[in-house]
Structure 1
Amino acid sequence: MATFFGEVLSVYSRAVEEDDRDDEDGENEEDVEIRRELEEKRKVHLKWCSEECQAIEENSDKKRLCSHLVIAVGTNAAGFVSAFILNSASWHRVGWLSVWNERSRGSGPMPAPPAPGEPGCVIYQQKDDDSVLICQCTCYVAEDQLFQWTEQLFMCLQKRGLTVTVLSDVPVAEYKTPDYIHGSDVPFLRALSTSAYKGGVICPFVEQPNIVTGLPAAVLCHCQVHGIPAVLYQNYSDVIGADSYTMEAYRLAVSSTKGIKLDPPSTDVLQEFTKVSDIHGNLYT
């Protein structure tokens, strides 16, 4: 506000001041404690299974050497990893990320390791080769937990020599294009990479105005900031559950990854991953 002589005066809203005072007075110690407990409960925790890995976690100066990290986000991405890669006996669980929010299971900040088939973020490694890690994530990670999730996962990894591949499921309804999408064109892949990634991609890049959101976007942003070569493959599909045809779309994206061998799964294995979604996807059940 200015006077006739050009002097600037500060004007405060009495209503705003009174509202703020009422909020402060209305928040008692119990409300503060509840909010503090919720914030603590929503923290993302990384837990390693072996004592050697736990020592790396406790020692911030000691980093885990890893040449390639594959992160699978979504039902079909995780299903592809389970059916085509982890189906081999050479892979075993080495850690997990615990996530608690309004759409996840669990009752505490550090739940027990998720059982096979349950939602979670589980980290796998080959028994005879520790240069490749696979993180399989099928649980929901809230917006306020995305930064924590990426920080927890990458803070124990040596960034030098590391390459990241992210596989992500996306509904085809979110794909924006002026052209009509034929049913025979679905599923299809679109890629997005960091500036440090110099490798080739097997599909077109994400076209504008399409965007990347959620956990894949958080991982790619982290890699871009820290100069880590990373590539994201988004699988646009019209199915809501696990589907063998949709899983197959990821094959070329991972086939050239050194240290990962793709074993064609048997029909029984694929049916094991898809039968649950078939049951829940029935309109009359």
Structure 2
Amino acid sequence: MSTFFGEIVQRPSRAFWDEEDESSDDDSNLNKSLGSNELTMKWKNEENQKTYSAELFLLVNGYVAEEYVKRVILNKDAVANIYETQPKEKFNRTSQSKLDAEVAQLYFLDSNVLLCTCKTTFDVTKSSQLIEQISPFMRKAKHVIIMTSHSACSHFHEDRSELPLSFLKQLQTDNYLGAKLYGHLEQPNTVTGVPAQALSWCQVFKVPAVAYILYTDCEQVDSITTEPLRQLVSKLPVKLPQKSLVFSNERITRTSNLYM
């Protein structure tokens, strides 16, 4: 059953909710702690940062999706990095090398494509800060496409035997007019973190966008797991060259979730 975009659906079990789950001093202190660090974008060439705009803005998050893009699509160095920086009052106690933690990178693939890869270790509570950094590029782009990957164990389906080892679902904004390439992400499945924040931002500011969610039985970058991504990239509005990769069957066997 589908619902309107952005609806908040409470979990069916009360085990996930507490009747006295209200703000407390501890929660307040936690929120202050979470908000103590800020995100900063650092450009390799400060003079050209205002010229970076593209027809397609591609946001990639999730281990399999990120690794596939890095191995198969990327052919240039990053033009900018986004770092998590601690407040200045901590500078005297901590070395600068420990203050800045890279959370995302921007790549200008060609005159039409701007790619942003977000690390899977990024704190999702700061997703809004990351979106604030990349929102100018999403606003200028004609197409905003989000690619993310999750374990198939997190996908809810009545009969899991019907599902392939690796498959894609999609979720789009109301004003997205592109082709429907895959089935709609049905309830109770959800998108979280940076992909959800980016799609919600596009919905609010009326920027056409679509998110493709890859579900995989094995979080390993092998030929079977990444086949849906290969097909997806070939269908994007802007063509991207994909390099061929040779995968190690021995490595796949060791990390597979399948049991004989």
Q: Which bracket does the TM-score occupy, shorter chain normalised?
A: 0.7 to 0.9
Which whole-Å deviations, capped at 9, do the CAs of 1:173-220 have from their partners, x for residues lacking one? 11111123357x111100001112100132101012211111110110
Q: What residue identity is the alignment partner of 1:131?
A: N
Q: Report the alpha carbon displacement of residue 153 of structure 1 after superposing the two structures with TM.
A: 1.1
1:149 aligns with 2:130: yes
**TM-score (normalised: structure 2):** 0.72
For the Cα contact (< 8 Å) 1:166–1:231, is it kept in 2?
yes
* Alignment-derived partner of residue 139 in structure 1: 120
Structure 1 residues 20-59: aligned runs within 5 Å: 39-41=35-37, 43-54=38-49, 56=50
1:193 aligns with 2:181: no
Which whole-Å deviations, capped at 9, do the CAs of 1:116-161 have from their partners, x for residues lacking one? xxxx4211113xx333111122232323201111111113x26244
Structure 1 residues 239-258: aligned runs within 5 Å: 239-258=218-237
In structure 1, what is the Cα distance between the partners aligned to 2:138 and 2:228? Answer: 30
For the Cα contact (< 8 Å) 1:46–1:153, is it kept in 2?
no
1:93 aligns with 2:88: no
For the Cα contact (< 8 Å) 2:63–2:120, is it kept in 1?
no
Runs of 4+ with deviation above 6 angstroms: 35-38, 277-282
In structure 1, what is the Cα distance between the partners aligned to 2:165 and 2:244? Answer: 22
For the Cα contact (< 8 Å) 1:72–1:168, is it kept in 2?
yes
Q: Report the alpha carbon displacement of residue 169 of structure 1 after superposing the two structures with TM.
A: 0.8
Q: Give secondary structure in 2 for the equivalent of 1:191.
A: strand
In structure 2, what is the Cα distance between the partners aligned to 1:40 and 1:53? Answer: 30
* Alignment-derived partner of residue 204 in structure 2: 225
In structure 2, what is the Cα distance between the partners aligned to 1:67 and 1:216? Answer: 19
Structure 1 residues 113-124: aligned runs within 5 Å: 120-124=103-107
Q: Give secondary structure in 2 for the equivalent of 1:215.
A: helix
Q: How many residue pairs align between the two structures?
A: 220
Q: Report the alpha carbon displacement of residue 279 of structure 1 after superposing the two structures with TM.
A: 7.5
Identity, % of aligned positions: 26
1:100/1:168 Cα in 2 relative to 1: closer, same or farther (>3 Å)?
farther
**TM-score (normalised: structure 1):** 0.66
Q: Give secondary structure in 2 for the equivalent of 1:122.
A: strand
Q: Report the alpha carbon displacement of residue 46 of structure 1 after superposing the two structures with TM.
A: 1.6
1:181/1:261 Cα in 2 relative to 1: closer, same or farther (>3 Å)?
same
Q: What residue identity is the alignment partner of 2:219?
A: I
* Alignment-derived partner of residue 26 in structure 1: none
Which whole-Å deviations, capped at 9, do the CAs of 1:215-265 have from their partners, x for residues lacking one? 110110011111111111111112134333212211222213344423232
Unmatched runs of 5 consecutive residues or more in structure 2: 1-23, 87-96
Q: Give secondary structure in 1 for the equivalent of 2:161.
A: coil
* Alignment-derived partner of residue 63 in structure 2: 75
1:211/1:251 Cα in 2 relative to 1: closer, same or farther (>3 Å)?
same
CA-based RMSD of the aligned residues comes to 3.2
Q: Give secondary structure in 2 for the equivalent of 1:211.
A: coil
Q: What residue identity is the alignment partner of 1:81?
A: V
In structure 2, what is the Cα distance between the partners aligned to 1:161 and 1:67? Answer: 5
Q: Give secondary structure in 2 for the equivalent of 1:218.
A: helix
Structure of higher CA gyration radius: 1
Q: What residue identity is the alignment partner of 1:125?
A: F
Unmatched runs of 5 consecutive residues or more in structure 1: 1-19, 24-31, 57-62, 115-119
* Alignment-derived partner of residue 11 in structure 1: none
